[in-house]
Amino acid sequence: MRFRDSNDYWYVMAPIIVIALLIMISMANIAIVYNTNQPWMSRTYANNICIGIGAFIVIAVVCMFVPIPYKLFAHQYKLETTLSYVTEGIHNKVYAEQDRLWKVLQPLKNKNSANATTAELRFCDCTKRKTCTLPFLIFRQLQLAQMRTSRSRIMQIQESGDPISSFFPVIYSIHKRAMLVQKIDYPMENVDDYRDQIHDLNCHLKRLGLFFHDMPAHNFMVDQTGQLKVIDYDFVLTKNEHNFLQFAQRMQHIPSIQLLETTNIFVS
């Protein structure tokens, strides 16, 4: 089984390309208008057109940095108000339904300032006012799209019966940002005790051409039989997707991730 690269990065690249084209067209229009020698184009008229175009560009740039209220783009699932809250990670809030868990991706990260990147601290207020600027919201939509793609990959792997599926909790259903999964109860207390299983998992990932991005030890747990389980698989990427995400992290000055004796599993 091989997986194609997703086209989720176009969520980011398409708006950037459109904005760049608009700016280029506007600048070209200014140059044409200002250098037109036709008799009907007076210098005053040309100046007014150039001022209008320049004002449009300035307003558009300023709007890119005006915070947008959280309530305008956030959506809360009914289960988030009816089920018992369990915990939360950086990207998910977790709710219990009997012996299963609902993991719900959040429009903005669940984080304090210690977990925030430089870009997030500059463009977002995720603590009280819950606001964020448009450029960062576009990048956040890319993250959410990538995480949904990763979840679908794991579900596809499980449905195919691939041997690597034993390393993941069972996914019962996926509904946009919400996912119902098997509950795993036991933490992995010592990484060294599971290096053989980690090696096997890594071999399967290389066979499938997939990478785990940012996989700290607390994202591994163990079931009742001693089987290692990856409980956070929101970034299961192809090589090109992994490279793209690393590039985005370098742009945000996020430190590189340590490699734990493997090529496809990254452990902080």
> Which SS3 state, helix, strand or coil, does residue 102 take?
strand
The better pLDDT of the pair 82, 126 is held by 82
- Please say whether the beta carbons of 77 and 177 come within 8 A: yes
- Please say whether the beta carbons of 258 and 266 come within 8 A: yes
pLDDT digits 0-9 by tens, 70-106: 677 667 778 888 899 998 888 889 999 988 999 998 8
Residue 222 predicted with pLDDT over 80: yes
- Please say whether the beta carbons of 130 and 115 come within 8 A: no
* pLDDT at site 262: 44
- Please say whether the beta carbons of 183 and 101 come within 8 A: yes
The burial of 28, by beta-carbon neighbours within 10 Å (0-12 exposed, 13-18 middle, 19 or more buried), is given as exposed
| Residue 49's pLDDT band (cuts 50, 70, 90) | confident
Q: What percent of the chain has pLDDT over 70?
A: 75
* pLDDT at site 6: 66
Residue 8 predicted with pLDDT over 70: no
Give, in degrees to the nearest 5, the angle at Cα 27 between 26 and 30.
90
Q: What is the identity of the amino acid at 115? A: N
Which of 38-42, 52-56, 57-61, 104-108 has the least mean pLDDT?
A: 38-42
Q: What is the identity of the amino acid at 106? A: Q
* pLDDT at site 73: 66
| Residue 260's pLDDT band (cuts 50, 70, 90) | very low
* pLDDT at site 114: 47
Query: Domain ranges in the chain?
Result: 10-63, 69-251
Rg of the chain, C-alpha, whole Å: 24
Percent helix, strand and coil across the chain, each to the nearest 5: 50, 20, 35
User: Using the 8-state DSSP alphabet, how is residue 264 labeled?
Assistant: S
User: Where is mean pLDDT largest: 128-142, 232-246, 254-268?
Assistant: 232-246
> Which SS3 state, helix, strand or coil, does residue 202 take?
helix
User: Using the 8-state DSSP alphabet, how is residue 170 labeled?
Assistant: P
Residue 259 predicted with pLDDT over 70: no
Mean residue pLDDT of the chain comes to 78
pLDDT digits 0-9 by tens, 233-252: 888 888 888 777 776 666 65
Residue 58 predicted with pLDDT over 90: no
Q: Which residues pair with 162 in a beta bridge?
A: none
Which of 11-15, 28-32, 86-90 has the least mean pLDDT?
A: 11-15
pLDDT digits 0-9 by tens, 180-206: 999 998 988 888 888 889 889 989 998
